[in-house]
Structure 1
Amino acid sequence: MTNTTTPLPGAIGGSFCLIDHDGRDVSDETYHGHYALMFFGFTHCRVVCPRALTKLSAVLDSLGPLAGRIRALYVTVDPERDTPDAMRAFLQPYPRFTGLTGSREQIDRIKAAFRVFAQRVDDAAGNADYTVPHTAITYVMDPEGRLVSHLIDALSAEEIATRLRRLLTSDEAGYLPS
């Protein structure tokens, strides 16, 4: 599978081809027909990712049946360590999320499409461990795969749930009220 669509200048998102945490090939089209929450992170993240995944899981739980219209995706920025098995194990406490990984080239392509910053920082003590500071934004995609909005990390679970509930019950597809 190859990326055949280049995002327009200023656009966020676009087509992608990755592997889910069960080892299946997936693309942006896999999730068409549903809203998608996309968060970029890595399995060795100690604070930001677990906090975001916990908050977003609580949001989805609070939405009740409406959450069935949303696919929650966790896209790695560290494909060297984040194999499908590593993603599946990391996401066990967050069963609503599907982990997505791929080759370095595939991950770099989706990071560029979503304008995600992530950069490896080696351990100052010379240990083999490293961290990957990254953008902590949740992207909300509509059922056609277009960006509806983004949700910053500082928003409370209640505010995110309110915004998503309004979006999911709104007659105006593609609009996320603030």
Structure 2
Amino acid sequence: MSRRLLAIFALLAVAFAILTGLAIRSGILAPQHQTAAVGGPFQLTDQSGRTVDERALKGKWSAVFFGFTYCPDACPTTLFALGQTEKLLGRRAGDFQTVFISVDPARDTPTQMKTYLTNEAFPRRTLGLTGTPAQVDQVAKAYHVYYQKAGEGADYTVNHSTITYLMNPKGDLACLITYGLTPQQMAQKIQAAMQQGSRAQSC
């Protein structure tokens, strides 16, 4: 291959790299490692009957978990682990809250949520949220949460995602906490994020 052709290919490669970079910066293209945004605007009702929106996540580290009060396993297990995690955070526990969002609005009224969250093994600083089916669907989509009713009659269940979303005090995703971690492991991840500051995006 002649030097002239090599020079042309080199120039084309440089031009392509420059154009790709400009496209990414302008938003026309997204870098391959970029993940879909998690979180966003919502309006729900807390366990005291008050209307709450996404501003409830501002100013604190929030462990956001989706479930339902009739859940037989993943929900109480996760809330129990978060209760232990809260204690392990020590003085930083005041900067941390658990946000439990129902995916069963038909049964999880504010009163039902309040009763359920009085369990002493659950985190002391828990915000329980429910709403209309449309409101729940909106927030579930914002967090990319899967949920689906299974069964008929009063004893139906709800299949759902079991990821916990650690949101930083700015209301943005810091990291995902997988189901099944010990309280010690959860506390380590949360503390690692806290050490990075309020804009942390990893743990």
TM-score normalised to structure 2 length: 0.78
Residue of structure 1 equivalent to 2:135: 106
Percent identity over paired residues: 35
Residue of structure 2 equivalent to 1:24: 50
Residue of structure 2 equivalent to 1:149: 175
Does the Cα contact within 8 Å between 1:148 and 1:176 map onto a contact in 2?
A: yes
Aligned partners of 2:146, 2:197: CA distance in 1, in Å? 34
Q: Which has the higher helix share?
A: 2
- 1:142 positional shift: 1.0
- 1:79 positional shift: 0.4
Q: 2:60 aligns with which of 4, 24, 34?
A: 34
Does the Cα contact within 8 Å between 1:20 and 1:98 map onto a contact in 2?
A: yes
Aligned pairs for 1:1-178 (under 5 A) are: 10-93=36-119, 94=122, 95-123=124-152, 127-171=153-197, 173-177=199-203
Structure 1, gaps ≥5 residues long: 1-8
RMSD: 1.5
The aligned amino acid for 1:26 is: V
- 1:172 positional shift: 7.3
Structure 2, gaps ≥5 residues long: 1-34
Q: How many residues align?
A: 166
- 1:70 positional shift: 1.3
Aligned partners of 2:190, 2:57: CA distance in 1, in Å? 17
TM-score normalised to structure 1 length: 0.88
Point out the more displaced range, 60-69 or 106-115: 60-69
Structure 1 segments, 4+ long, off by >6 Å, are none
The aligned amino acid for 1:110 is: V
Point out the more displaced range, 129-138 or 28-37: 28-37
Structure 1 residues 41-81: Cα deviation after superposition (integer angstroms, max 9, x where no partner): 00000111000000011001110111111121000000010
Structure 1 residues 123-155: Cα deviation after superposition (integer angstroms, max 9, x where no partner): 5xxx43100011001001111111111100022
